[in-house]
Each structure stands twice: as structure tokens, then as C-alpha cells.
């Protein structure tokens, strides 16, 4: 991998704690592997609690000075960081693809997407507005100011090794918090490369640490129990989010939770079918189905069901599975053998109960964790995929008759992250977008993520929003000041 990089120093082999590049006190290490080839990319320090405590202490030590700077000053540093990420997008994209598996075009795209949050929140650093409220008595003046919560800790998954951290660290740093990130053990290299560029951009020592570690639960516990940490921000499964919220209850810690989804993707009879197929391809197969906003259940109205299935199968036939670092590849490997087994289990359960495979359906001839993009027809609500996120390249097509029926089915889940529907009937569009119990709705589009909009879920999909002018709120406390004159 080093040979592919213009700047090989971006491939880090140490953790970044309190402004220093370090090994584990114990000397322990763990391996980072390339899921496409199975080869070891590098070994990294497997940090323990002591090093994590040092990162947290340094974050506390640096926080007051960082917060005391002007927003404009912090914005200038974030801008520099953004520029460095864009300048190095090719290298960062290659590192990301090597550790995670997504095609290079998507890996590079993620770098620019992640960077866009650093740009956006840097700009927002200058707009941390408070409020004045007319007093309740003649001598009283009411002011509301917003202050950083303090030291923030993050735990993030492997599916977006850069962007999941960028969406959290950017608003936190913008408003004057300091930050300790624990990246997923599968994909820590992108996080370390971000830290290196942050250092080069002038982010002061201790403001942003990256603690590499292979045993997440011990780090999660320390983040929740350490009284210096004032906020935990997490992206991952609802199960782990629940554990972390329980642990965070000990010190009534503020939490942001971006958790699992079970996105419905609805195609009505009156939709533009070609547009719907294009949206389904992006929403379903992007990142090989491994995103929390991927279409998990595709509902197609009876009148267009067969035509939609046929067009989707034609589009899937054009996909090119392979190593993400090779040219022309549109689908990489799945992240792990466990992920492949889950996909196989969902397909077997569906076919046992009567679904038909019209594309793919099995491991790819390339071996490893490569899997064929799959389409299932005749899918019904008694199948596993109805309630459980597949997190893989399987498009299950459910048939429905009425709008009322499909809205009820779409909402019949504990999750409420992303949803999508296609229709050209104006009245229906308004009815359905309001009826869907989701934090996000894509209408006639399968791609909704942008730093300009508030990303987040309702129900058991989470708490808080990332992106948009609302994205800083999760890292701010309100202070009400009552003054008698």
C-alpha cells in the first residue's frame, strides 16, 4: 500500500495520544487487514486504559485554551485541515479502500464527504449564537449563551472510517470541545491519517487524540466512567448503543447515538421506474449494502412489480465485483466472514419461506468475503429481512397493493433512520413523507447524505443530529444568565 501513496507518511503505525505518536505501554499490537486480499496492512498499538486516560487528561488540559480562542481562529485551523484532506484525497481514499474494501471511487468520495463536515462546521464556529429574552421583571435581563460541553469521546464503526469521525470531531472542535476518538479496530488507519493532517493543520496538542485498540468494551466503559468525559458520541448498532446508554447513565452523560436502520424503499405505480431503479441501485448497493441508510426492504406496488424487478436485475448484471483498488470495480468485498454468513442466513431464510432468487444469491467466484449482488422476489413479512438489517448486497422485493398498507408496513419496525419513496403524484408525496416515522425521507432520490442537512434517526435509530446548523447543538450546553440591573 505504501508504494501506492504520494505521501507514504499518511500510513501511520502508531496511535496519536496527547499530541504524541505512541506505542502501547504494554507493547501489545493488533493487525489491520485488507478485506479484499486478506493480507496484513500494518500492525498498530493495542492501547490499554492507561493510555486512554492520558488522552482524556490531555483533552481536559487543552480544552479551556481551545474554547477561549475565537470561533474565527478555530475556523481557520479547521479550514486548513479541510484543505489538507482534499489535497490528499487520493492517498486517503486508497488507505480507506485498503482497510475497508469499498471501491476507490467511493473511498475517495467518502474523504471529500468527511472533509465537507470539517469545512461546514469550521464555518459554523463563527455562528455559535446565543439569545436575549425580554426580562420577566423591570430590572431583569435574560441572556442565553452556548458553551462547549467539554471533553468528548467517540466510538465509531468500520463502514465509514473517515466520515463517521469527521461528522463528530468537526462540530465538537468547532465549538471548543476537545476529542478522543476510538476508531473501529478494522479501520483505524483512516482515523490516524486524519489525526496526522489535523496535527499538520495546527490543531493543538491534546485537542484530538486517536486511541487504537482491539477490545472496544473496555474503552467504552472507560469513556462512560471517567468523570472528565462529558459526552459520548457513538455510531454503530442499536444493541451496542443500548449498552453504552446504560453505562453512560452512571454519570448522566450526554450522548449522541446514530444507530441501526431498517430503511424502506417504496416504489408506487405512478413512479418514474428508471429513476427508481437508479435510486435503488445507489441506496441498496452503495458500500456493498453496508450503510445504516441502505434500503433494507424494497416495497414495489403490484402494477409495476415485475417491470421493476426486471430493470433492477439488468442494472445489477452490469455491476463489477472485485478489489476496490482495481479500476472499474463497483462492488468490493464484505467486511468479514461474519458479514457474509449473515447475508447467507437472510437469503436462506427467505428462500426457505418461498422467495425466489433472480440475481446473485451466493458467494462470488473470487472467494474470500466477496458476494454476488443479489435480488430476491416474492419476499413476505414473515422473513428475517423484514425486521433485521441485512447489511449486505441483498435487495428483497416485497409486493404491495395500497398506499395505506405500505405505509403501515414501512413503519412497522423499531427503527426510524432513513426511508425512501418514489411517486409523481403531488398529493401522495405530501401524505407519505409526513406519514413515514423516520428521521430522514428521500423523495424520488436514493442518496440523501450531505453536510448541509441534519442526519439522524427517531425511535431506536438514535438520538441527536449530525450535519446542518443543528449539528453543533449536540456539543453545546445552554447557559441561562439572569441579571438584575
Q: Which residues are catalytic?
A: 258
Stretch that binds ligand ADP, among 7-15, 165-173, 194-202, 215-223 (CB under 6 A): 215-223
Residues 150 to 179 in contact with ligand ADP, rule: CB under 6 A: 155, 157-158
The distance of closest approach from Cβ of residue 250 to ligand ADP in the complex, given in angstroms and rounded to an integer, is 14
Residue 202 contacts by C-beta under 8 Å, 6 or more apart in sequence?
77, 80
Contacts with ligand ADP by CB under 6 A: the residue count is 13
Stretch that binds ligand ADP, among 50-58, 239-247, 248-256, 428-436 (CB under 6 A): 239-247
For ligand ADP, the closer CB: 80 or 231: 231
- ∠10-14-18 over CA atoms, to 5°? 100
Cross-strand bridge partners of residue 422: 267
Residue in 93, 114, 171, 236 binding ligand ADP, rule: CB under 6 A: 236
Torsion over CA of 421, 424, 425 and 428, rounded to 10 degrees?
10
* Contact track, ligand ADP, 173-212, x by CB under 6 A: -----------xx---------------------------
For ligand ADP, the closer CB: 110 or 403: 110
For ligand ADP, the closer CB: 185 or 363: 185
220 contacts ligand ADP (rule: CB under 6 A): yes
Cα–Cα distance, 248 to 225 (Å, whole number) = 7
Stretch that binds ligand ADP, among 213-221, 297-305, 307-315, 420-428 (CB under 6 A): 213-221
The distance of closest approach from Cβ of residue 67 to ligand ADP in the complex, given in angstroms and rounded to an integer, is 27
Question: Measuring CA to CA, which residue among 289, 224, 268 is closest to residue 425?
Answer: 268
Select the residue whose beta carbon is closest to ligand ADP and give its number.
220
Residues 309 to 348 in contact with ligand ADP, rule: CB under 6 A: none
For ligand ADP, the closer CB: 225 or 405: 225
For ligand ADP, the closer CB: 158 or 421: 158
Cα–Cα distance, 455 to 215 (Å, whole number) = 28
For ligand ADP, the closer CB: 220 or 361: 220
Interface positions with ligand ADP (CB under 6 A): 155, 157-158, 184-185, 216-217, 220, 236-237, 240, 243-244
Amino acid at each position: 500500500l505504501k508504494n501506492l501513496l504520494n505521501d507514504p507518511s499518511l500510513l501511520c503505525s502508531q496511535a496519536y495520544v496527547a499530541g504524541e505518536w505512541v506505542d502501547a505501554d504494554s507493547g501489545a499490537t493488533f493487525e489491520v487487514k485488507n478485506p479484499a486480499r486478506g493480507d496484513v496492512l500494518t500492525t498498530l498499538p493495542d492501547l490499554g486504559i492507561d493510555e486512554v486516560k492520558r488522552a482524556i487528561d490531555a483533552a481536559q488540559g487543552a480544552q479551556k485554551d481551545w474554547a477561549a480562542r475565537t470561533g474565527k481562529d478555530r475556523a481557520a485551523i479547521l479550514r486548513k485541515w479541510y484543505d489538507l484532506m482534499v489535497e490528499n484525497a487520493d492517498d486517503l481514499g486508497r488507505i480507506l479502500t485498503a482497510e475497508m474494501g469499498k471501491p476507490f471511487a467511493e473511498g475517495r468520495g467518502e474523504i471529500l464527504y468527511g472533509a465537507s463536515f470539517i469545512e461546514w462546521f469550521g464555518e459554523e464556529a463563527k455562528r455559535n449564537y446565543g439569545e436575549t429574552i425580554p426580562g420577566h421583571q423591570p430590572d431583569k435581563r435574560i441572556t442565553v449563551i452556548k458553551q462547549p460541553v467539554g471533553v468528548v469521546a467517540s466510538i465509531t464503526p468500520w463502514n465509514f472510517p473517515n466520515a463517521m469521525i469527521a461528522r463528530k470531531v468537526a462540530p465538537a472542535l468547532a465549538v471548543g470541545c476537545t476529542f478522543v476518538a476510538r476508531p473501529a479496530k478494522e479501520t483505524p488507519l483512516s482515523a490516524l491519517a486524519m489525526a496526522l493532517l489535523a496535527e499538520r493543520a495546527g490543531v493543538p496538542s491534546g485537542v484530538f487524540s486517536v486511541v487504537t485498540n482491539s477490545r472496544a468494551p473496555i474503552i467504552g466503559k472507560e469513556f462512560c466512567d471517567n468523570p472528565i468525559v462529558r459526552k459520548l458520541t457513538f455510531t454503530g448498532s442499536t444493541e451496542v448503543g443500548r449498552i453504552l446508554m446504560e453505562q453512560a447513565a452512571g454519570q448522566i452523560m450526554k450522548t449522541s447515538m446514530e444507530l441501526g436502520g431498517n430503511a424502506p424503499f417504496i416504489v408506487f405505480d405512478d413512479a418514474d421506474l428508471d429513476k427508481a431503479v437508479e435510486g435503488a441501485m445507489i441506496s441498496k448497493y452503495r458500500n456493498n449494502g453496508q450503510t445504516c441508510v441502505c434500503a433494507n426492504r424494497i416495497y414495489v406496488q403490484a402494477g409495476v412489480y415485475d417491470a421493476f424487478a426486471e430493470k433492477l436485475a439488468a442494472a445489477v448484471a452490469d455491476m463489477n465485483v472485485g478489489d476496490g483498488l482495481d479500476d472499474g470495480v463497483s462492488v468490493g468485498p464484505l467486511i468479514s466472514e461474519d458479514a457474509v454468513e449473515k447475508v447467507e442466513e437472510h437469503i436462506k431464510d427467505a428462500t426457505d419461506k418461498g422467495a425466489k432468487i433472480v440475481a446473485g444469491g451466493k458467494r462470488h467466484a473470487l472467494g474470500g468475503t466477496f458476494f454476488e449482488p443479489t435480488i430476491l422476489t416474492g419476499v413476505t413479512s414473515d422473513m428475517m429481512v423484514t425486521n433485521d438489517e441485512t447489511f449486505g448486497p441483498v435487495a428483497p422485493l416485497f409486493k404491495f397493493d395500497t398506499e395505506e398498507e405500505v405505509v403501515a408496513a414501512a413503519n412497522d419496525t423499531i427503527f426510524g433512520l432513513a426511508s425512501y419513496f418514489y411517486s409523481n403524484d403531488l398529493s401522495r408525496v405530501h401524505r407519505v413523507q409526513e406519514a413515514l416515522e423516520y428521521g430522514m425521507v428521500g423523495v424520488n432520490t436514493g442518496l440523501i447524505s450531505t453536510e448541509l442537512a441534519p442526519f439522524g434517526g427517531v425511535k431506536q435509530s438514535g438520538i441527536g443530529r449530525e450535519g446542518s446548523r443543528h449539528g453543533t447543538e449536540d456539543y453545546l450546553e445552554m447557559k441561562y444568565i439572569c441579571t438584575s440591573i
